[in-house]
Amino acid sequence: MAEGRRIVVRSDGRIEVEAYDIPSPGRGQVLIETICTAVSAGTELGVQEQARSGDYHPGYSNVGRIVECGAGVDGFSPGDRVLSFGNHASHVVSGTDSPYLIPVPDDVGSDEGAFGVIGSVSMHGARKANAALGEHVLVTGVGMVGQIVVQLLARTGAETLIAMDLSSFRLEVALQHGATHTLDARASDTADAIRDLTHGRGIDVAVEASGYPDVIPSLVDYSRIGGRIVLLGSIWHRPVTLDLMPFHEKEITMMGCHQPKCPPKGNSYYPWSQEYNRRTFLHWIADGRLRIADLITHRLAADDAPTAYQLLREERDRALGVLFAF
């Protein structure tokens, strides 16, 4: 049996590349040879920080070519380029039922397409925000998920679209991709700045994409009466102290936003399925409505995985969209 290579995070935090036996696809499955995979920084760094008893194989946004089809596969053939949930590995097996496998259009590059699953997370968050014409919108944390949210919300006709982050580099990128204003999260006068930018009204809707719960009390402060807060970032069991009186008095709505809760297939009442979001994300790259290539800063070999995670954790003024090439 042929051997593949995949990234593994050991229980003690060591990041390695290990060999494994490439599996054969079962009924209704395909074997994919990976071209590249996108790093989901919030999820992958968050899981690495959690106590675990076993190994962790990161990654869930993979573009590759089908090399073998199992029995009963219909609609896919060897040679097809596809987006899957495959992890950071040279070969992955995927089911073909929606939403597990999506064809990548010919006019979408593999590097851009590899962010397709991550992009559907942003699309779910932007839809939950339900920003209306003329609203004041804030996005906190403009890593890849937040950057894509900014691009999506820029199409809603927001009066102001404010990006907030600790990284001046990421803020400048957001400004080039639809944000009307940026704020350094470390500044002491962010609340005053938001009051000025919103003409005293406050934020209508805030999308929290950093994953750091410490920001939530500030979002309550920034919000207008009747404001909404969408928790999109991966918040990994970190406690936060929240004074509920201003939350109560402002009648703020705070909602969780977890992309896997989208139905695999749409229905008459909720057509926004995981499959729909991924297909739309790829289509909008193809027709220019989304600019993903601009956000990719690093394309690294799997052996460079420790470097990739170090960049995303410690050098945010250099790293944004990170890919592994196989």
Instruction: For 187-232, write each residue's pLDDT tens digit.
Output: 989 999 999 999 999 999 999 999 888 999 999 999 999 999 999 9
Contact 323, 300 (CB under 8 A): yes
- Mean of per-residue pLDDT scores for the chain: 94
pLDDT at res. 234: 74
Residue of higher predicted confidence among 12 and 136: 136
pTM of the complete model: 0.95
Q: Hey, is 268 helix, strand or coil?
A: coil
Q: Which amino acid is at 25?
A: P
Q: Where are the domains of the chain?
A: 3-115+292-325, 122-261
For residues 62 and 87, give the distance between their C-alpha atoms in angstroms, rounded to a whole number. Answer: 7
Asked if pLDDT for residue 236 goes beyond 70, the answer is: no
Q: Pick the range with the lowest mean pLDDT from 64-68, 81-85, 148-152, 262-266.
A: 262-266
For residues 281 and 287, give the distance between their C-alpha atoms in angstroms, rounded to a whole number. Answer: 10
Q: Domain 122-261: which CATH class?
A: alpha beta
The pairing of beta strand 91-95 with beta strand 136-140: unpaired
Q: Pick the range with the lowest mean pLDDT from 46-55, 63-72, 187-196, 272-281.
A: 46-55
Domain 3-115+292-325 sits in CATH at 3.90.180.10
CB neighbour burial string for 32-59, b if at least 16 within 10 angstroms, e if fewer: bbbbbbbbbbbbbbbeeeeeeeeebebb
Only one residue has tokens 């402002």, namely 250
**Residues in contact with 86: Cβ distance below 8 Å, sequence separation at least 6, in sequence order:** 32, 34, 37, 59, 60, 62, 64, 92, 94
